Amino acid sequence: MKRFVIALAAAFLLATPALAEDLYITIQNNTDTTLTEVYVSHVGTNDWEDNILDSDVDPGEGLAVTIADGRTTCNYDIKAVFDDGGTAEFRGQNLCKVKTFTVHD
């Protein structure tokens, strides 16, 4: 009976889909220009998803953000947009390993 319970528990754990987890990070602006938008997309996605900033991030400042895209992934491409029209892209960033993502020149 004990083996049956263990086997049943193991089967349940393997059959249960992984739950999506929100990522909580700080976007740190280490440039000389105000950051106005940040887009994150799962690596392998061909389109930028929604802007995750709810306000501008001035040079030297940081802003806490949540990535709540329903995925269980850690690897994202990031696009930063500045108030002067400039952009910067950062490919293949593992956002599970960092608490602060720094945007730099």
Q: What is the pLDDT of residue 24?
A: 95
> Which residues is 38 bridged to in the sheet?
80
Q: What is the pLDDT of residue 63?
A: 98
Q: pLDDT (tens digit, 9 = 90+) per residue, 71-104?
A: 888 999 999 999 999 999 999 999 999 999 999 9
40 three-state secondary structure: strand
CA triple 52-62-37, angle to 5 deg: 30
- Which string of DSSP letters, residue by residue, matches 53-91? -SS-B-TT-EEEEEE-SS----EEEEEEEETTS-EEEEE
Query: Which domains, ranges and CATH numbers included, belong to the chain?
Result: 19-104 (2.60.40)
Say yes or no to pLDDT of 1 above 70.
no
Q: pLDDT (tens digit, 9 = 90+) per residue, 5-53?
A: 444 444 444 444 445 689 999 999 999 999 999 999 999 888 999 999 9
